[in-house]
Amino acid sequence: MLMVIDSPMLDREILYVMMYYDMGILLSGLLTQMRSQYETEKELARMKSEEAMMLEREYSALSSSYERNAKLFHDFRNHCGVIRNYLAGGKSEEAVSYIDELMGEGSSYGGEVFTGEGTIDYLIGSKKALAGEKGISLEVNAEFPRNINIKSSDLCAMLGNLLDNAVEAASGVSDPSERKIRLIIRRIGQMLVIKVENTFEEKPVAVDGEYKTIKKDGDLHGWGIKSVKTAAEKYDGTVVSNVTDDIFSTVVTLSFEGIRQE
């Protein structure tokens, strides 16, 4: 265009209009590229923030577990000392009575068995303890198949995120007696079905088929479900959420194969 600016065949004003038009297109393209880069960086920042929050929660859980185990070991040594003194002094009845008393308190030392898989049971137990601290009743009904190809790490990622979301929602219920969560795990043929239900105070909003948090810092939320979907995709799975008047539920279905044990 600069080469023909002095051409008598073109009106100078039309030429300027064309130049301004082209400049506008270039500017629009630049702004679009900048916005795309901004959105990408913003999404990465959200993911890093969510990852940091998850790591902090898991660190807190592991730290609490370490403290409980340290206390257990310390108490165990003390209990052994007491029993030894009873036996050394010929006080067998007192020793038996002391042991019976300890066995009565056994539930406070051992973890609950929900599925028979240690890692998964520990995760569910830690989330149940977290729910209890917030005055939430967490009911677990699990039927877990043995020797399948679904990795414990993937199951823990899904269960951890689902239960964290449920605890967060149920903890906001004003009536403590209505703070409830139910976890159901079932095997149907070659499908593993995980269902988490929870009560809530304010109904979530559906946007483009997905339920969004109503929190002011909503940009930092929602990544838990994305993590669940990512893990479920490894097993040709689906993740479906539904809400009624007082219950929010998420159902995860996973395909699995049995693993032959040598």
The residue among 45, 75, 104 that closes a domain is 104
Judge if 42 and 156 occupy the same domain: no
E strands in 26-136: none
Nearest to residue 184, comparing CAs of 252, 234, 260?
Answer: 252
Q: Tell me: do 53 and 159 sit in the same domain.
A: no
Q: Higher-confidence residue: 20 or 115?
A: 115
Q: What is the pLDDT of residues 37-82, one digit of tens each?
A: 877 777 776 666 666 566 556 656 655 655 656 666 666 767 787 7
C-alpha atoms less than 13 angstroms from C-alpha of 87 in its C-beta half-sphere: 9
Q: Is residue 1 part of a domain?
A: no
Q: What range defines the domain where residue 40 resides?
A: 12-104
**pTM recorded for the entire structure:** 0.59
In a domain, 130, yes or no: yes
Closest to 124 in 3D by CA, of 98, 155, 87:
155
Q: The CATH number of the domain where 172 resides is what?
A: 3.30.565.10
Inform me whether the pLDDT recorded for 115 exceeds 70.
Answer: yes
For residues 208 and 153, what is the distance between their CA atoms, to the nearest angstrom? 30
pLDDT of residue 249: 95
Structurally, how many domains does the chain consist of?
Answer: 2
- Assess whether 119 and 242 both reside in one domain: yes
Helix (H, G, I), strand (E, B) or coil at 3: coil
Q: CA-CA distance, 24 to 201, in Å (whole number)? A: 49
> Who has greater pLDDT, 207 or 117?
117
Domain membership flag for residue 26? yes
The Cβ-side half-sphere exposure at 260, using a 13 Å CA radius, reads: 1
Average per-residue pLDDT in the chain? 78
Q: Are residues 158 and 197 in the same domain?
A: yes
Lookup result for tokens 């097993």: 235
- Residues 127, 240: one domain? yes
* DSSP letter for each residue of 13-53: HHHHHHHHHHHHHHHHHHHHHHHHHHHHHHHHHHHHHHHHH
The closest of 158, 200, 204, 194 to 181, measured between CA atoms, is: 200
Q: Which of 81, 104, 127 is at the close of a domain?
A: 104
**What is the structure's pLDDT at 207?**
66
Nearest to 180 by CA among 137, 242, 133, 232: 137
What is the pLDDT averaged over residues 112-117?
A: 83
- The answer as to whether 207 is a domain residue is yes
Closest CA to 241 of 205, 215, 214: 205
Q: In this structure, is residue 4 part of a structural domain?
A: no
Question: What is the helix (H) or strand (E) element at residue 125, kind and residue range?
Answer: helix 118-133
What single-letter DSSP state applies at residue 113?
P
Say whether both 135 and 72 belong to one domain: no
Would you say residue 197 lies in a domain? yes
* Mean per-residue pLDDT, 206-219: 57
> Which has more confidence, 54 or 158?
158
Query: 94 and 117 in one domain?
Result: no
Q: Do 1 and 19 touch, CB atoms closer than 8 A?
A: yes
- Which pLDDT belongs to residue 231? 87
- CA dist 35 and 117 (Å) reads 47
More confident residue, 250 or 21: 250
The string of pLDDT tens digits covering residues 76-103 is 767 787 788 888 888 888 888 877 776 6
Report pLDDT for 107. Answer: 40
Shared domain for 123 and 90, answered yes or no, is no
pLDDT at 83: 83
- Where is the domain boundary, 104, 132, 155? 104
Task: Tell me the pLDDT band of 113, cut-offs 50, 70 and 90.
Answer: confident
pLDDT of residue 218: 46
Both 100 and 167 in one domain: the answer is no
Q: Does residue 260 lie in a domain region?
A: no
Same domain, 235 and 120: yes
Residue at 5 is within a domain: no
Instruction: Please indicate, yes or no, whether residues 42 and 116 belong to a single structural domain of this protein.
Output: no
80 and 118 within one domain:
no
